[in-house]
A and B are shown apart, each in its own frame.
Chain A
Amino acid sequence: DAGVIQSPRHEVTEMGQEVTLRCKPISGHNSLFWYRQTMMRGLELLIYFNNNVPIDDSGMPEDRFSAKMPNASFSTLKIQPSEPRDSAVYFCASSVPSYEQYFGPGTRLTVT
């Protein structure tokens, strides 16, 4: 298996633009997680899905953030409009529920 796949790996955008991050989980994993990592705040869970259904989105910082999982093999995290403080590395991870989580390589987002 190729592991968790994320795209793009790097994204540079201007404030106010829409940003869409993509994730393909490991086949057979029915839990998917979106995390954000910054130097100041460390690793934060934004939202997670079980069987394509959002279970806990309490970590989503604002209404500017939204996440979808239209099917078992694809998820998106969208920021609209983006702001400089959204600059961070965004990780997607997947797992079989309550077992090891496997992380993707991350998307480094820079908002200028």
Chain B
Amino acid sequence: KQEVTQIPAALSVPEGENLVLNCSFTDSAIYNLQWFRQDPGKGLTSLLLIQSSQREQTSGRLNASLDKSSGRSTLYIAASQPGDSATYLCAVLPFYGGATNKLIFGTGTLLAVQP
């Protein structure tokens, strides 16, 4: 059974710092991995999608990496800003040998960037 873990559960950093959020999954048979952001009282916003054949994806100050063999992904945020404060969730799409849509979510990392 695929399990997704995010460590740490909460993180507080001063503005301007570079930071890394971690995501681990137990089964390397995945189709893709997706990083989301959730602001309080809001829905999830998709940040980056990495296909299983890719090693990383970049969008602005965000860079996500994927190492399937070790079951790990990281989300790197450069030059953090108070507006980056949110909960960050990773989710994997397991590969069952055919088309599947059932994302498995981690429990999230609550990020606070202090001005």
Interface, chain A (partner B; CB < 8 A): 4, 31, 33, 42-43, 45, 48, 50, 55-56, 91, 93, 95, 97-106, 108
B34 touches A43 (CB 8 A): no
Q: Which of A100, A103, A105 contacts B49 (CB 8 A)?
A: A100
Question: What chain A residues lie within 8 Å of B1 (beta carbons)?
Answer: none
Q: Main SS of the interface on chain A?
A: strand
> Quick one: given A103-B43, A103-B44, A104-B43, are A98 and B103 in contact (CB under 8 Å)?
no
Question: What chain B residues lie within 8 Å of A101 (beta carbons)?
Answer: 34, 46, 103
**Which residue in chain A gives the minimum CB-CB distance to B31?**
A98
- Bound: A73/B36 CA distance, A: 24
Interface, chain B (partner A; CB < 8 A): 31-32, 34, 36, 41-46, 49, 89, 93, 99-103, 105, 107-108
Question: What chain A residues lie within 8 Å of B42 (beta carbons)?
Answer: 105-106
> Quick one: given A45-B102, A106-B43, are A99 and B107 in contact (CB under 8 Å)?
no
- Using A42-B105, A42-B107 as known contacts, list a sample of 18 further A-B pairs with CB atoms less than 8 Å apart, ordered by residue number in A: A4-B43, A31-B101, A42-B108, A43-B89, A91-B43, A91-B44, A93-B44, A97-B101, A98-B31, A98-B93, A98-B99, A98-B100, A99-B49, A100-B34, A100-B46, A100-B49, A103-B44, A108-B41
Least Cβ–Cβ distance between A40 and chain B, in angstroms: 11
> Quick one: given A98-B31, A98-B32, are A105 and B101 in contact (CB under 8 Å)?
no
**Which residue in chain A gives the minimum CB-CB distance to B48?**
A100
B31 touches A43 (CB 8 A): no
Least Cβ–Cβ distance between B89 and chain A, in angstroms: 7
Question: What chain A residues lie within 8 Å of B102 (beta carbons)?
Answer: 45, 48, 56
> Quick one: given A42-B107, A98-B93, are A103 and B101 in contact (CB under 8 Å)?
no
**Which residue in chain B gives the minimum CB-CB distance to A31?**
B101
Question: What chain B residues lie within 8 Å of A106 (beta carbons)?
Answer: 42-43
Q: Which of B36, B43, B103 contacts A45 (CB 8 A)?
A: B103
